[in-house]
Chains A and B, each alone.
Chain A
Amino acid sequence: MEVRVANVRKEFDRFPALRDVSLDIKSGELIALLGPSGSGKTTLLRLIAGLERPTRGNIFFGEEDASHKSIQERNVGFVFQHYALFRHMTVADNIGFGLKVRHGPTRPSAQEIRRRASELLDLVQLSGLEKRYPAQLSGGQRQRVALARAMAIEPRVLLLDEPFGALDAQVRRELRRWLRDIHDTTGHTTVFVTHDQEEALELADRVVVMSQGRIEQVGTADDIYDTPNSPFVYGFIGESSSVPVKVEDGQVWIADRPIGLSAPQAPEGQATLFFRPHDVELVDGCSGCIAGTVAASRRVAGTRRVELEIGGERQRVEIELPVDHPAAQKSRVAFRPRRWKLFPAA
């Protein structure tokens, strides 16, 4: 089911949590809403579910305007970070709940509900646990039950709110792969919220980066990482370093020195230069490079991060060097970013 969010605004007590957000979700897509806390990602998810009503704007399921339909009518599967299982019901009863509360001819027989529940338990790889109570399951198992319960109603869209947030790192990685498999098998349109960029980039077909109630960028993992379209996305996704620079005559300048980067398209004036700390080349001697003195150096896994003080104002930038590179010890290092981007100063 396609989901279209059109110019949605949501205010809580006059405070805007979402400002004019539009998003098209394709049928069968696995999409991640990624952003820091307070960016409005969970609010957007809850609006799609019908757990909140938009202050302005509409939400379409396919061609149909769902904005004013009740939660019950929307037929969405929702999974919470803390599972929200029914404690007094067995695993099988939890999964069958959505079918049991139906009325009239749409309600399957008790036998059919049982059959569906055990089928879904097979799908989430928990066969044989029908009779257990949620208290008797581990966190990862509970989240699988929660997902099976959401899928039991054959939802038009699956919505997951930080589904792995409460689990430890290893289970998280395992479930991530598992969720991708489930999605590929069932083909449900799925939207999940996360603040973990690794999770979003690894799992999703497309990532929606959000900040302060706005969508900053929508794209595949490659788009988002390689061509960030705003300083926020550059800073939020992956590692980045930034330096204030000046654009003059199609050249990039730090203080009064050109640094060997030409930017003929960029508007003249103050700007900020962004680059990835690992995407730099070291150069000898300096005519057209960024040079600085090593202020701090620390070992990070397979590489070494050095902080350089550059220019007269002793700006600090971070770059990555191979562990055995002699430059890591030298007091003066010169480099040039391989890939970089300029954003005009605000």
Chain B
Amino acid sequence: MTTAPAKAGWRFRQPSVIPGFGLTLGFSLAYLTLIILIPLSGLIWRSAALGWADFWAIATDRRTINALEISFGTAFIAAAVNVVFGTIVAWVLVRYNFPGRRIVDAMVDLPFALPTAVAGIALTTLYAPNGWVGSLLSPLGIKVAYTPLGIVIALIFIGLPFVVRTVQPIMEEIDKEVEEVAATLGANRFQIISRVLLPGLAPAIVTGFALAFARGVGEYGSVIFIAGNLPYKSEIAPLLIVIRLEEYNYEAATAIAAIMLALSFVMLLVINLVQTWSRKRYG
């Protein structure tokens, strides 16, 4: 509503007459601190011990920068692809009734459940130059396995359910009458989808994108099999961290981790702000 109450600084809003507010808030804070904040601050603490000059040297190292570029870049592309195809999959599952619909619906969740290494090995076998798909693509000069393209494919696989499962419930709620009314007003099918349906789904799509993207940035298991892990070319940041750990170079590992943490946090924060803005607008 437009009658927003005047903000008088920070104040606890009495949430309801039901007791337990203090208890649940206390528990949530304690739990978040224990599970998330303490490990993360340990990470920052550890990398802070490095000193600014060393930290900067690691951060601006070509190999680090390339690994971060590959991680964030492929995660971004994969999430963008998933937004398009995940939305289509959700659309098909919500709108049409066909034999095997429930099976397809259940299949969407497989990437959630499958050990990521299994997915990585399966994809590598398929896309390797002598694999089923790879042998079809290699005459065209397209190499998938052991390149960043392979990473993108692995991340598309991993991220799909995030988009489908966030968009699907919102799509189910779409009122059929809204489409009908748009049609009576003269809008054709394309206009109904682009002007009426998609804008309504935008907040859910953004959430799905954020989840798929975040998952992609952190993904390790499925990627390392298909990526080939060539330094500067197809080496992802999480792998670089593991490599540094194996070299007992804990400082470098924590430094890269801290950079990833900061970047991810900023990006998710931006996405969250976009969501808050769109929720406020569309109620």
> Which A38-59 residues have a C-beta within 8 angstroms of B?
49-51
Contact B282 A135 (CB under 8 A): yes
Can you identify 14 A-B contacts, CB atoms within 8 angstroms?
A: A49-B184, A51-B180, A51-B184, A78-B180, A82-B175, A84-B181, A86-B182, A88-B200, A97-B187, A101-B182, A102-B186, A134-B283, A146-B181, A149-B181
Contact B1 A136 (CB under 8 A): yes
B185 within 8 A of A: yes
- Give the residues in chain A near B195, CB-CB below 8 Å: 97, 101
Q: Give, as a whole number of angstroms, the nearest-CB distance from B243 to chain A.
A: 47
Mark interface residues in A62-87 (1 if CB within 8 Å of B CB, else 0): 00000000011011111010101111
A340 within 8 A of B: no
Q: Given the known inter-chain contacts A97-B182, A133-B282, please indicate yes or no for A84 contacting B187, CB distance below 8 A.
A: no
A98 within 8 A of B: yes
Q: Give, as a whole number of angstroms, the nearest-CB distance from A341 to chain B.
A: 41
A153 within 8 A of B: yes
Contact B185 A101 (CB under 8 A): yes
Q: Give, as a whole number of angstroms, the nearest-CB distance from B133 to chain A.
A: 40
Q: Given the known inter-chain contacts A49-B184, A72-B188, please indicate yes or no for A84 contacting B281, CB distance below 8 A.
A: no
Contact A133 B187 (CB under 8 A): no
Contact B184 A71 (CB under 8 A): yes
B39 within 8 A of A: no
Contact A86 B196 (CB under 8 A): yes
Contact A87 B200 (CB under 8 A): yes
A contacts with B, residue count (CB < 8 A):
32
Expressed in whole angstroms, the Cα–Cα distance for A97 and B191 within the complex equals: 10
- Pick the contact of A97: B1, B2, B185, B281 (CB < 8 A): B185
Expressed in whole angstroms, the Cα–Cα distance for A86 and B195 within the complex equals: 9
B115 within 8 A of A: no
Contact B186 A75 (CB under 8 A): yes
- Give the residues in chain A near B199, CB-CB below 8 Å: 86, 88-89
Expressed in whole angstroms, the Cα–Cα distance for A85 and B175 within the complex equals: 10
Contact A84 B177 (CB under 8 A): yes
Closest to B177 in A: A84
Contact A78 B283 (CB under 8 A): no
Q: Give, as a whole number of angstroms, the nearest-CB distance from A161 to chain B.
A: 9
Q: Give, as a whole number of angstroms, the nearest-CB distance from A299 to chain B.
A: 40
Closest to A82 in B: B177
Mark interface residues in B192-203 (1 if CB within 8 Å of A CB, else 0): 000110011010
- Give the residues in chain B near A89, CB-CB below 8 Å: 199
B178 within 8 A of A: yes
Q: Given the known inter-chain contacts A101-B195, A133-B282, please indicate yes or no for A84 contacting B185, CB distance below 8 A.
A: no
Contact A87 B177 (CB under 8 A): no
Closest to A80 in B: B177
- Give the residues in chain A near B196, CB-CB below 8 Å: 86
Closest to B3 in A: A136
Closest to B175 in A: A84
> Which B78-108 residues have a C-beta within 8 angstroms of A?
none
Contact A101 B175 (CB under 8 A): no
Mark interface residues in A97-124 (1 if CB within 8 Å of B CB, else 0): 1100110000000000000000000000
Contact A77 B184 (CB under 8 A): yes
Expressed in whole angstroms, the Cα–Cα distance for A149 and B177 within the complex equals: 14
Contact B283 A136 (CB under 8 A): yes
Q: Give, as a whole number of angstroms, the nearest-CB distance from A92 to chain B.
A: 14
Mark interface residues in B149-191 (1 if CB within 8 Å of A CB, else 0): 0000000000000000000000000010110111111111001
Q: Give, as a whole number of angstroms, the nearest-CB distance from B64 to chain A.
A: 42
Which 10 A-B pairs rank lowest in CB-CB distance, beginning with the nearest?
A135-B283, A98-B185, A84-B177, A78-B184, A101-B187, A88-B199, A71-B183, A84-B181, A88-B282, A80-B177
Q: Give, as a whole number of angstroms, the nearest-CB distance from B278 to chain A.
A: 8
Contact A86 B283 (CB under 8 A): no
- Give the residues in chain B near A75, CB-CB below 8 Å: 186
Expressed in whole angstroms, the Cα–Cα distance for A96 and B223 within the complex equals: 49
Closest to A97 in B: B185
- Give the residues in chain A near B283, CB-CB below 8 Å: 87, 133-136
- Give the residues in chain B near A51, CB-CB below 8 Å: 180, 183-184
- Please indicate which of the listed interface residues B183, B185, B186, B200 has the most CB atoms of chain A within 10 Å of its own CB: B185
Contact B183 A84 (CB under 8 A): no
- Give the residues in chain B near A88, CB-CB below 8 Å: 199-200, 202, 281-282
Expressed in whole angstroms, the Cα–Cα distance for A89 and B187 within the complex equals: 15
- Give the residues in chain B near A49, CB-CB below 8 Å: 184
Contact B191 A101 (CB under 8 A): yes
Expressed in whole angstroms, the Cα–Cα distance for A98 and B185 within the complex equals: 5
- Please indicate which of the listed interface residues B175, B183, B186, B195 has the most CB atoms of chain A within 10 Å of its own CB: B186
Expressed in whole angstroms, the Cα–Cα distance for A86 and B185 within the complex equals: 12
- Please indicate which of the listed interface residues B183, B184, B187, B191 has the most CB atoms of chain A within 10 Å of its own CB: B184
Q: Given the known inter-chain contacts A133-B281, A133-B282, A133-B283, please indicate yes or no for A84 contacting B186, CB distance below 8 A.
A: no
Q: Give, as a whole number of angstroms, the nearest-CB distance from B36 to chain A.
A: 34
> Which A202-255 residues have a C-beta within 8 angstroms of B?
none
Expressed in whole angstroms, the Cα–Cα distance for A153 and B200 within the complex equals: 23
Contact B186 A153 (CB under 8 A): yes
Mark interface residues in B246-283 (1 if CB within 8 Å of A CB, else 0): 00000000000000000000000000000000000111
Expressed in whole angstroms, the Cα–Cα distance for A98 and B196 within the complex equals: 12
Closest to B278 in A: A88
Q: Given the known inter-chain contacts A80-B181, A84-B175, A133-B281, please indicate yes or no for A72 contacting B186, CB distance below 8 A.
A: yes
- Give the residues in chain B near A101, CB-CB below 8 Å: 182, 185-188, 191, 195
Closest to A76 in B: B184
